[in-house]
Amino acid sequence: MTDAPTTAAPSTTLSMQAAINLALEHALAQDDRTLVFGEDVGKLGGVFRVTDGLQERFGADRVFDTPLAESAIMGMAVGLALHGFRPIPEIQFDGFSYPAMNQIITQLARMHYRTRGAAPMPVTLRLPSFGGIRSPEMHSESLEAIFAHVPGLKVASPSTPTDAYQLLRQSIADPDPVIFMEPKARYWNKAPFDAAMALADTPPIGSSRVVRPGKHVTLVAWGAMVSRCIRAAEFAAEDGVELEVLDLRWLKPIDAAGLAASVGRTRRAVVVHEAPLTAGLGAEVGTLITEQCFGTLRAPVQRVTGYDVPYPPGDLEDHYLPSTDRILSAVQRVLEYRRG
């Protein structure tokens, strides 16, 4: 085993990028079978410096660079898992995962099932995801609905440094493959963090979290859209409207009971995500809410999403991403809805 990991001081302040780095450090230190690899994750520390310092500490045989070939990265992860390792591959940007979909969908997601349980797939794919950083084409995709649709995959997306640490540690420890979608726009946002408390208070896999209680409407979101919903709730509070913000955290499995509990209190719901509207994960969430709360809903579930177009150039993304104005307009629609 490797030497004990460094620990963040109690009640310190960390960015999400640093919290993910710490989770990787702890996982590498606690299990020699854990490997981190991908394009530029070694000496450079990744394009977002999430893996900064890990190769220096754990060596180039455990934290290493790969060729620019996403299908090879994921094929390697499957092979390593079959031989008893716990791979943590990184695909540098969300849009770069398309060439690896064959390995992800037909191998990674199915191997445990196809072997009747004989071959676990403890692979955590780290995927910098979503928009908000004004990046070029193919660098700001929202692929959660694609991954969540595939049997055999779990999908997680944090919104805070503590969530990032908790969810990543859970994902790495899980015997099944997890797609860990990191909101790029939140990498540098700092918040209070205590690693020991984060581990002690980690909710079970598939748990959502109420980040702001309210009584009039539930806003459901994940990733970077959670902070945008909190901002919308702050604006609404100035007019006496109390919005509850529910961070889904796990996009598969989805916390149907948590959704039902929140919407059962507010009786109205708005789902917010960056992906295009049609067949987005908001449709699944809205259906779950309707199934669980049909007798108490006072208005149809509304969705505030990206548009059904390819993600636009950076100078247009403010028009594409759900804004606080669009969120508040949806809130107004559900509050003013009257049955015919």
Residue 3 covered by a domain: no
User: Rounded mean pLDDT of 322-336?
Assistant: 98
Q: Are 201 and 296 in contact (CB under 8 A)?
A: no
Average confidence (pLDDT) over 117-126: 96
1 pLDDT band, cuts 50/70/90, is: very low
What is d(CA 243, CA 226) in angstroms, rounded to the nearest whole number? 12
Sheet containing strand 243-247, strands side by side: 209-212, 243-247, 217-221, 269-276, 302-306
The CATH number linked to 109 is: 3.40.50.970
Contacts of 38 (CB under 8 A, 6+ apart): 46, 65, 66, 73, 89, 90, 91, 92, 126
pLDDT bracket for residue 6 (50, 70, 90): low
Q: Is the peptide bond before 253 cis (omega within 30 degrees of 0)?
A: yes
Predicted pLDDT of residue 195: 79
Q: Are residues 158 and 23 in the same domain?
A: yes
User: How far apart are the C-alpha atoms of 5 and 174, rounded to whole Å?
Assistant: 20
* pTM of the shown model: 0.94
On whether both 175 and 275 belong to a single domain, the answer is no
Does 55 share its domain with 179?
yes
Q: Confidence band (pLDDT; 50, 70, 90) for 279?
A: very high
Percent of the chain topping pLDDT 90: 91
Indicate whether 144 and 224 sit together in one domain.
Answer: no
Cα distance between residue 263 and residue 259, in whole Å: 6
Across residues 129-137, what is the average pLDDT?
A: 91
**In this model, does residue 3 exceed pLDDT 60?**
no
284 and 220 in a single domain? The answer is yes
Check if 139 is active-site: yes
User: Residue 332 maps to which CATH number?
Assistant: 3.40.50.920
Residues 150 and 189 in one domain: yes
* CA separation for the pair 91, 69 (Å, rounded): 9
> 186 with 248, same domain?
no
What is the average per-residue pLDDT within 276-289? 98
Residue span of the structural domain in which 136 resides: 13-200
At residue 23 the predicted structure's pLDDT band, cuts being 50, 70 and 90, is very high
On whether both 248 and 229 belong to a single domain, the answer is yes
pLDDT score recorded for residue 5: 52
- Token duo for residue 260: 């039902």
Long-range contacts of 150-153 (CB under 8 A, 24+ apart): 150/104, 150/105, 150/109, 151/109, 151/110, 151/113, 152/108, 152/109, 152/110, 152/112, 152/113, 152/121, 152/176, 152/177, 153/104, 153/108, 153/109, 153/177, 153/178, 153/179, 153/252
Choosing from 26, 83, 112, 139, which is the catalytic residue? 139
- Same domain (yes/no): 186, 255: no
pLDDT at 37 over 50: yes
State the pLDDT at residue 314.
Answer: 87
Q: Residue 5 falls within a domain, yes or no?
A: no
How many structural domains is the chain composed of?
A: 2
Residue 318 pLDDT greater than 90, yes or no: yes
Tell me the per-residue pLDDT of 159-190, one tens digit each, with 9 for 90 and over. 999 999 999 999 999 999 999 999 999 999 99
According to DSSP, the residues that pair with 269 across neighbouring strands are: 218
pLDDT at 8: 59
Q: Is the pLDDT of residue 2 over 50?
A: no
